[in-house]
Amino acid sequence: MLYYERIGSGKTCLVLLHGYCENNTCFNEQVLFFKDLCTILTIDLPGFGKSQHCDADSIVDMADQVKAVIEKENLAQVIMLGHSMGGYVCLAFANKYKEYLEGYGIIASTANADSKERKEKRIQVINFIKEQGKEAYLKNFIPSLFKPGFNSNIIKERIQEACNGSEKGMIGAAIAMMNRPDSNDVFKESNLPVFFAIGKLDELIPAQQLFEQAALCKIAQVVLLEESAHMPMFETPSKLNVAIESFIQLVRTNY
C-alpha cells in the first residue's frame, strides 16, 4: 500500500498526485488552503517519499495502486489532480476507473506520449542516475523546473525532499513515463469536467500543446499562470489554489 495522508473532512474529496522526484509534501500549500473545504488525500507514488518502490512497471500500475488507496478510504468518488508525472497517473486512472471520478485534471502535465527525443532524454537520465547517483541528478534536475531567479531556499528544500525517494523508484518511474501511451482519447471520450493548469514559463510543456488538448474536452477549465514555470504549487500557489477552488465549484454544478 502506498503511503498517503488524509486531511480534512469536507464532502468533496480532492486527491493530489505529485510529479517525478517529488512527494506529497509538494502540495502543502494546497492542503493548507483546502483542508477546511475538502477531504484531501496526498499520496506518495511508488518509490517516492515514504512509499516503497514496489515494481510499479507502468503508469497504469501506479494508477492501480492509487485506486487501492481510494478503496481503503471507502471513497465513492473524488476529484483527482496530478502534477507532471502525477498527471500521467491521473489520466491513466481516468481511462481505467472513471466511475471513481467527479472531475480530474492536470497541472503542468500533458496527455501526449513521449516523443523520440524525449525518450532519448529519459534514457540519459536513467544512465546518469545509475552512474552518478540520485543526489547528483537531483541537484541539476530540480532547479531546472523553476522559473529563473526563484527562491533558492525553496529549491534547496525540494532537493532535500527528493532525496527521500529511492534510486530504484526514480529509474522505474522514468521507464514508466517513457513507455506510457498517448492519452488524448481520454479527453475526447470523457464527459467529466477537466482542469488544466498551465505554466506560461514552462519549458518542458508548451502552453499551446495544452490549449489544444483542452479543446478536445466536452467540459474544460483552463488557467494560464503567467508567472509560473513547471512548479506552480510553489511559484504561484495562491493563483493555483483559487483556480482549483473554481474547478471544484464547476464540478459541483455539473452534478
Q: What are the structural domains of the chain?
A: 4-254 (3.40.50.1820)
Q: What is the pLDDT of residues 137-159, one digit of tens each?
A: 999 999 999 999 999 999 999 99
Q: How confident is the model at residue 255 (pLDDT cuts 50, 70, 90)?
A: low
Q: Cα(226)–Cα(198) distance, rounded to whole angstroms?
A: 9
Q: Which three cell numbers stand for residue 238?
A: 495562491
pTM: predicted TM-score of the whole model, two decimal places: 0.97
Q: Cα(119)–Cα(83) distance, rounded to whole angstroms?
A: 19
For residue 61, the one-letter residue type is D
How big is the chain, counted in residues?
255
Q: In what order do the strands lie in the sheet with 39-43?
A: 4-7, 39-43, 13-17, 78-83, 101-107, 193-199, 219-225
Q: Cα(42)–Cα(16) distance, rounded to whole angstroms?
A: 5
Q: Are 135 and 19 in contact (CB under 8 A)?
A: no
Q: How confident is the model at residue 52 (pLDDT cuts 50, 70, 90)?
A: confident
